[in-house]
Amino acid sequence: MAERSEHTNEETQRRHDEEPTGLTSRELDEVDERHRLRPLAVYELVRQEGEDELSRPAASLWWSGLAAGLSIGFSVLTQAVLRVNLPDASWTPLVTSWGYSVGFLIVILGRQQLFTEITLTATLPVLAAPRYALVVSLLRLWAIVLAANFVGTAIFAAGIAWDVIAMPEIREAALAISREAVFEGWATLFLRAIVAGWLMATVVWLLPSAQHSSFVTVVLVTTLISMFHLAHVVAGSVEAMALVWNGELGFGAALANFYMPVLLGNVIGGAALFALLTYAQVATEMVEENPSKIK
């Protein structure tokens, strides 16, 4: 291993000396670092993060998930503020959609636990080394974070429905947005949720390469969820529970007609489709670079 590392360093230095790029040594090092961040490296970064999440204490997961549930409510609230303050024009919905990214920025950049994020990160370690203990840890992680997210969104939704900020026009706008998001058919919500789950997994996959562009990456991808009227189970929980607290939707109906199709779709899009395809594209490289792992 030491010989290989020494050889790599010598090769890098040789290339630095031979290439008349005009770049400084530090800039050349940054180029090398970006070059090494190929799909296998990104996969390994996300997988290691997933392993860390699987081993976190239940209390840490709970409080982080609760914070995420509360924070994601600002996506709905910001959209409502934009809708109230923008003119009624054809371009208004497009601008309003950008407000949807606010809650996700708080959650993702603040390193809070969001269920649709960990559907990818926590699944990759299980795919890499499927064992009963890992599967149990995965289900434990999902259950704690999802429950905490839902408690947080329920609290935030109550604040919207009961107008705790004493701004009735924003409350009405938030409820109008909620009606548009929740009152769709089962099949429509399910299919839209698959795409939303895919996009959230895409955010996780892009962040290691984004580096200093994390803000832009999160904004661009999460805004698409709103623009395409997709369904996100945690952000949508704020909308569903706001209608429940406002007396427009029964909890049983919300559970059967919103939570079930959207949760299932998000898991399929993020944990099944994206995670499996991500693993498939690097599985051969993993074996070639780690032949000792072949059993």
**So where are the chain's domains?**
2-36, 39-290
What pLDDT, on the 0 to 100 scale, is given for residue 126? 83
What pLDDT, on the 0 to 100 scale, is given for residue 275? 75
Given a contact cutoff of 8 angstroms between Cβ atoms, the answer to whether 70 and 152 are in contact is yes
Distance of alpha carbon 61 from alpha carbon 53, whole angstroms: 8
Q: Which of 24 and 272 is assigned the larger pLDDT?
A: 272
Within 10 A of 188 (CB to CB), how many other CB atoms are there? 12
Instruction: Read off the DSSP letter of residue 247.
Output: T
**pLDDT tens column, 205-223:** 888 877 778 899 999 999 9
Overall average pLDDT of the 166-193 stretch: 95
Report the SS3 class of residue 105: helix
**Tokens describing residue 9:** 């360093």
CB-based contacts of 264, cutoff 8 Å, min separation 6: 190, 193
What pLDDT, on the 0 to 100 scale, is given for residue 47? 81
Model confidence at 247, pLDDT cuts 50, 70, 90, reads: very high
Alpha carbon distances (Å) from 101 to 8, 40, 108, 120, 188: 41, 28, 10, 19, 22
**pLDDT tens column, 43-80:** 778 888 888 888 899 999 999 999 999 999 999 999 99
Distance of alpha carbon 236 from alpha carbon 170, whole angstroms: 17
What pLDDT, on the 0 to 100 scale, is given for residue 57? 94
Of 156, 145, 142, the residue nearest 237 (C-alpha): 156
Q: Which of 288 and 2 is assigned the larger pLDDT?
A: 288
Given a contact cutoff of 8 angstroms between Cβ atoms, the answer to whether 79 and 227 are in contact is no
Q: Which of 24 and 112 is assigned the larger pLDDT?
A: 112
Q: Which of 251 and 42 is assigned the larger pLDDT?
A: 251
Report the mean per-residue pLDDT for the chain.
85
Position of tokens 């509360």?
70
Overall average pLDDT of the 240-247 stretch: 97
H helical segments located in the chain: 2-18, 25-36, 39-54, 58-85, 92-98, 101-109, 115-121, 123-128, 132-161, 168-182, 186-210, 214-227, 233-245, 251-254, 260-267, 275-289
Distance of alpha carbon 132 from alpha carbon 66, whole angstroms: 28
What pLDDT, on the 0 to 100 scale, is given for residue 293? 46
Sign of CA dihedral 63, 102, 158, 178: negative
Query: Does the pLDDT at position 248 exceed 80?
Result: yes
Distance of alpha carbon 247 from alpha carbon 115, whole angstroms: 27
Overall average pLDDT of the 81-97 stretch: 93
Sign of CA dihedral 46, 48, 50, 53: negative
Instruction: Read off the DSSP letter of residue 273.
Output: I
What pLDDT, on the 0 to 100 scale, is given for residue 129? 80
Q: Which fold has domain 39-290?
A: Glycerol uptake facilitator protein (1.20.1080)
What pLDDT, on the 0 to 100 scale, is given for residue 30? 56
Q: Which of 85 and 47 is assigned the larger pLDDT?
A: 85
Query: Does the pLDDT at position 6 exceed 70?
Result: no
Of 235, 248, 83, the residue nearest 161 (C-alpha): 248
Of 189, 175, 273, 271, the residue nearest 232 (C-alpha): 189
Overall average pLDDT of the 187-192 stretch: 96
What pLDDT, on the 0 to 100 scale, is given for residue 113? 93
**pLDDT tens column, 112-157:** 999 988 888 888 888 778 888 889 999 999 999 999 999 999 999 9
Distance of alpha carbon 73 from alpha carbon 283, whole angstroms: 38
Model confidence at 274, pLDDT cuts 50, 70, 90, reads: confident
Query: Does the pLDDT at position 20 exceed 60?
Result: no
**Tokens describing residue 34:** 């970006």
